Chain A
Amino acid sequence: MTAVMTVKQVRKVYGGKNEPQFEALHNINFDVEAGEFVGIMGASGSGKTTLLNILSTLDQPTAGEVVINGQNLAALKGDALADFRAREIGFIFQDFNLLENLTAYDNIALPLSLQNVAAKKIKPAVAKIAATLGIDQILTHYPTEISGGQKQRVAAARALVQEPSILMGDEPTGALDSKSAKDLLETMTQLNEQQHVSILLVTHDPFSASYCQRILFIKDGRIGTELKRGQQTKQEFYQQILQVLGRTEQGGD
Chain B
Amino acid sequence: MLWKLALTGIKSRLRDYLVLLSGLAMASAIFYMFEALALNKSFVTSNSPVSMAFLVFQFGSVLLAIITFIYLLYANNFLLSMRQRDYGLFMVLGAKGRKLGQLIFIETLVIGSVATVLGLLIGLGLTELTGHLLLSRMHLTVHHFTPFYGPAMISTLIFFGVLFLLAAIVNQVQLRRTPVLTLLHRDTQPTHLQRQPRGQFFQSLLGLILLAIGYWSMIKIDVLKMSSIGIALVTIVVGTFLLFRALFTWCLQCLKRREHFAYHGLNNFVLAQLQFRLHDLNRMLTLVTLLFALALGALTVGMGFQSQLHNIADVSPYDVVLHDPTAAQQKKAAQLDIKRQWQVDYKVVKGTVYFNRAQFTQPLLAIHQSTTTSQKAYREIKPSELTLAKQQQWQQTLNDWLRPNDYGHPVRVVDAGAYQALQGPHYRVVAIQTKNFYQALPQIKQLVITDNQENHFPSSVGLVLSKYQSYELMNSLVSGLEFMGFFLGIAFLAMLASCLMFKILAGAANDRRRYQMLGKIGTRSKLLRRSVNREIGVLFALPAVLGVVHVLFGLQLFEVSGLLTHPYRDLLVPFSIFGILYLGYYGLTVKLYQHLVLPKFK
Query: Would you call A79 and B526 a contact (CB within 8 A)?
Result: yes
- Which residue from A57, A82, A112, A122 sits with its C-beta under 8 Å from B523? A82
- Which residue from A82, A99, A114, A158 sits with its C-beta under 8 Å from B265? A114
Query: Would you call B525 and A101 a contact (CB within 8 A)?
Result: no
Chain A residues whose CB sits within 8 angstroms of the CB of B267 once the complex forms: 113
Query: Would you call A58 and B601 a contact (CB within 8 A)?
Result: yes
Chain A residues whose CB sits within 8 angstroms of the CB of B513 once the complex forms: 97
With contacts A97-B517, A101-B273 taken as known, whether A83 is within 8 angstroms of B522 at the C-beta atoms is: yes
Query: What are the nearest 8 A-B pairs in CB distance?
Result: A86-B522, A85-B522, A119-B259, A101-B276, A101-B272, A113-B263, A82-B524, A119-B263
Separation in Å of the A12 CB from the closest CB of chain B?
12
Chain A residues whose CB sits within 8 angstroms of the CB of B264 once the complex forms: 113, 116, 119
CA distance A87 to B524 in the complex (A): 12
Separation in Å of the A1 CB from the closest CB of chain B?
27
Residue of B nearest to A100 (CB): B188
Main secondary structure, interface of A, reads helix
What mask results when residues 140 to 175 of chain A are scored 1 for a CB within 8 Å of chain B, else 0?
001010000000000000110000000000000000
Q: Flag whether B185 is at the interface (Cβ < 8 A).
A: yes
Q: Flag whether B521 is at the interface (Cβ < 8 A).
A: yes
Residue of A nearest to B517 (CB): A97
B-side residues, CB < 8 A to A, are: 185, 188-190, 192, 259-260, 262-269, 272-273, 275-276, 513-514, 517-527, 601-602
A–B pairs, 9, beta carbons within 8 Å = A78-B525, A79-B525, A83-B522, A91-B520, A111-B521, A114-B266, A122-B263, A144-B188, A144-B189
Chain A residues whose CB sits within 8 angstroms of the CB of B189 once the complex forms: 144
Query: Would you call B601 and A102 a contact (CB within 8 A)?
Result: no
Chain B residues whose CB sits within 8 angstroms of the CB of A3 once the complex forms: none
CA distance A221 to B185 in the complex (A): 38
Q: Flag whether A60 is at the interface (Cβ < 8 A).
A: yes
Main secondary structure, interface of B, reads helix
A-side residues, CB < 8 A to B, are: 56-60, 78-79, 81-87, 89, 91, 93, 97, 99-102, 106, 109-114, 116-117, 119, 122, 142, 144, 158-159
Query: Would you call B185 and A144 a contact (CB within 8 A)?
Result: yes
Query: Would you call B190 and A100 a contact (CB within 8 A)?
Result: yes
Chain B residues whose CB sits within 8 angstroms of the CB of A84 once the complex forms: 522
With contacts A79-B526, A122-B263 taken as known, whether A97 is within 8 angstroms of B520 at the C-beta atoms is: yes
Q: Which of B185, B259, B260 has the most CB of A within 10 A?
A: B259
Chain B residues whose CB sits within 8 angstroms of the CB of A83 once the complex forms: 522, 524
CA distance A125 to B275 in the complex (A): 26
Q: Which of A84, A106, A111 has the most CB of B within 10 A?
A: A106
Query: Would you call A60 and B602 a contact (CB within 8 A)?
Result: yes
Chain A residues whose CB sits within 8 angstroms of the CB of B518 once the complex forms: 99, 110
Residue of B nearest to A60 (CB): B602
- Which residue from A59, A79, A110 sits with its C-beta under 8 Å from B602? A59
Separation in Å of the B99 CB from the closest CB of chain A?
29
- Which residue from B192, B269, B521 sits with its C-beta under 8 Å from A91? B521
Separation in Å of the A62 CB from the closest CB of chain B?
11
CA distance A158 to B601 in the complex (A): 21
With contacts A109-B263, A116-B264 taken as known, whether A58 is within 8 angstroms of B520 at the C-beta atoms is: yes
Chain B residues whose CB sits within 8 angstroms of the CB of A109 once the complex forms: 263, 268
Separation in Å of the B256 CB from the closest CB of chain A?
9
CA distance A109 to B265 in the complex (A): 10
Chain B residues whose CB sits within 8 angstroms of the CB of A111 once the complex forms: 521-522
CA distance A211 to B189 in the complex (A): 36
With contacts A97-B517, A113-B265 taken as known, whether A106 is within 8 angstroms of B523 at the C-beta atoms is: no
Chain A residues whose CB sits within 8 angstroms of the CB of B263 once the complex forms: 109, 112-113, 117, 119, 122
Separation in Å of the B399 CB from the closest CB of chain A?
75
Query: Would you call A82 and B525 a contact (CB within 8 A)?
Result: yes
CA distance A155 to B602 in the complex (A): 24
Residue of A nearest to B527 (CB): A114
Query: Would you call A114 and B522 a contact (CB within 8 A)?
Result: yes
- Which residue from A101, A110, A119 sits with its C-beta under 8 Å from B521? A110
CA distance A83 to B268 in the complex (A): 19
CA distance A41 to B267 in the complex (A): 39
CA distance A79 to B528 in the complex (A): 11
CA distance A112 to B521 in the complex (A): 11
Chain B residues whose CB sits within 8 angstroms of the CB of A110 once the complex forms: 268-269, 518, 521
Chain A residues whose CB sits within 8 angstroms of the CB of B517 once the complex forms: 97, 99
With A85-B521, A113-B263 already in contact, 18 other A-B pairs whose C-beta atoms are closer than 8 Å: A56-B520, A59-B601, A78-B524, A79-B524, A85-B520, A85-B522, A86-B523, A93-B520, A99-B514, A100-B188, A101-B514, A106-B268, A110-B518, A114-B265, A114-B521, A114-B523, A114-B527, A142-B192
Chain B residues whose CB sits within 8 angstroms of the CB of A114 once the complex forms: 265-266, 521-523, 527
Residue of A nearest to B190 (CB): A142
Query: Would you call B268 and A86 a contact (CB within 8 A)?
Result: no
CA distance A83 to B517 in the complex (A): 15
CA distance A159 to B520 in the complex (A): 11
Residue of B nearest to A82 (CB): B524
Residue of B nearest to A145 (CB): B190
Query: Would you call A119 and B522 a contact (CB within 8 A)?
Result: no
Residue of A nearest to B272 (CB): A101
With contacts A101-B276, A110-B269 taken as known, whether A119 is within 8 angstroms of B525 at the C-beta atoms is: no
Chain A residues whose CB sits within 8 angstroms of the CB of B260 once the complex forms: 119
